Amino acid sequence: MDAEGLALLLPPVTLAALVDSWLREDCPGLNYAALVSGAGPSQAALWAKSPGVLAGQPFFDAIFTQLNCQVSWFLPEGSKLVPVARVAEVRGPAHCLLLGERVALNTLARCSGIASAAAAAVEAARGAGWTGHVAGTRKTTPGFRLVEKYGLLQAVRAARQAADFTLKVEVECSSLQEAVQAAEAGADLVLLDNFKPEELHPTATVLKAQFPSVAVEASGGITLDNLPQFCGPHIDVISMGMLTQAAPALDFSLKLFAKEVAPVPKIH
């Protein structure tokens, strides 16, 4: 599924409510900055100042749409960013551009950071010759889960797989005995949690030999550095909490400009 299709997964009512809550949190009272900037028409250029994967356009759009601003994108969702890159342009009343600036940048930076980390994980897994699925976990930020899950999907780009995971019965297990019991009880997916690689692969081998149709997921303590050690022929899914907990945000800036050509920002 392409990026435009992924945006359809975002419930419009939920998205609008999230945007409203973010803006209210960022400016809960009188907006004194509006007295300085005024309400005249203005424009701002969005610049990417660090490499990674661009993700979060629907949230960025929704924030500025609610503020009566228009966004024009120069790069499609999911693009690989090579700094310094002019990503988009936003037009609208000056005070509205400034009101949405920080919320929009925070959301885009965080979502793009997660997408970048997920893409790096997929690349590392493929580099190890593994063809299974890299997934996130429920270790997400309250009030920001939709953004983080969306960022993960930018790397996976498989709606059918994403939907299938939500429909499976998964049982977390800490030993081979528990895994066998879960499979016998009808589990679709057995999560081998906090297994070291030298324990994980023998356990998965035995389980798959008895229950070939049961999917095996590895999780717990998996990072980009040690990910290849968890890849194996009997592992179907590798879930990584660090994709949402530890992914660094990308660096974006939104610069107002009065001339026809927006000045290129410097990277410090």
What per-residue string of b and e applies to 116-127 under the rule 16 or more CB within 10 Å gives b? Answer: bbbbbbbebbee
Distances in Å between the Cα of 38 and the Cα atoms of 34, 99, 260 are 5, 11, 20
What single-letter amino acid sits at 42?
S
Contacts of 145 (CB under 8 A, 6+ apart): none
Q: What is the DSSP letter of 194?
A: T
Write the DSSP assignment of 79-90 as a string of letters: PEE-SSEEEEEE
Q: Among 49, 139, 149, 208, which one carries the catalytic annotation?
A: 139
Contacts of 263 (CB under 8 A, 6+ apart): 255, 257
Neighbours of 29 (CB within 10 A): 6
Helix (H, G, I), strand (E, B) or coil at 24: helix
139, 241 contact by CB (below 8 A)? yes
Neighbours of 164 (CB within 10 A): 14
Distances in Å between the Cα of 6 and the Cα atoms of 21, 57, 95, 120, 144 are 23, 11, 31, 20, 17
Distances in Å between the Cα of 150 and the Cα atoms of 77, 107, 202, 250 are 12, 11, 34, 16
- 139 assigned to active site: yes
Residues marked as catalytic: 139
